Amino acid sequence: MDTCTKVFLRRKEISGGRLSLYLDFYPPIRNPHTNRLSRREGLGIYLYANPQSAREREFNASMEEKAEAIRCRRFEQLLNEQFGFLDKEKMRMDFLDYFRKKCYKKHQKWKVVYEHFSDFCRGKCLLGEVTEDFCKRFQKYLLEGRRRDDRKGTLAHNSIAGYWSTFRALLKEAYQEKLLRENINDYLTKIEWKDTKIESGLAHEI
């Protein structure tokens, strides 16, 4: 059985007669951005090492209270993740809006895939709905080759393969950012690319 991670509030002396507050995790946790194990999280909260007045003592007490509140939130988050207690509020997050915001920093293809996905889910998708079965249904939807806005013809196979690859990249980022509790990509199959000579002359459809 896995050991539940404990979260401690620690102090460290720094320059200027101050103390820096940080969280100490044991066992260490994995940073979703670097994918490295880490035991510390700096809070950016500082105390007077030797408070000289009532004002400084009150300031220290206020900052320690804020730091303790953060420690409690971190422990609750870790507890939920380790024991599978899903955060109901997070499950109600607008996944379609999350996808749309991702498009701002990505290649144009992301916006095209977003539009296909929006059509598939009829303009509404919550994070809690993003399951293995749901994603497989979107894959099937793409493989049907539907073009948007009832335009004639079907999508080229390599366009579909590219769209599906982009969607899987989105799932990977959502997992790394701890929005998804498991890496759904582990259960999804790739759509293999075909020899480009077979589809020569076909335009990139939207």
> Tell me, what DSSP letter sits at residue 44?
E
Local confidence band at 1 (pLDDT 50, 70, 90 cut-offs): very low
Each residue's pLDDT tens digit, 69-95: 999 988 887 777 665 555 666 778 899
Domains observed in the chain: 6-83 (no CATH), 88-187 (1.10.150)
* Identity of the amino acid at 26: Y
Mean pLDDT of the chain: 85
For the CA atoms of 96, 97, 103, 104, the dihedral, rounded to the nearest 10 degrees, stands at: 170
Determine the average pLDDT of the residues in 58-67. 96
Nearest to 115 by CA among 157, 156, 166: 166
Each residue's pLDDT tens digit, 22-38: 999 988 887 655 667 88
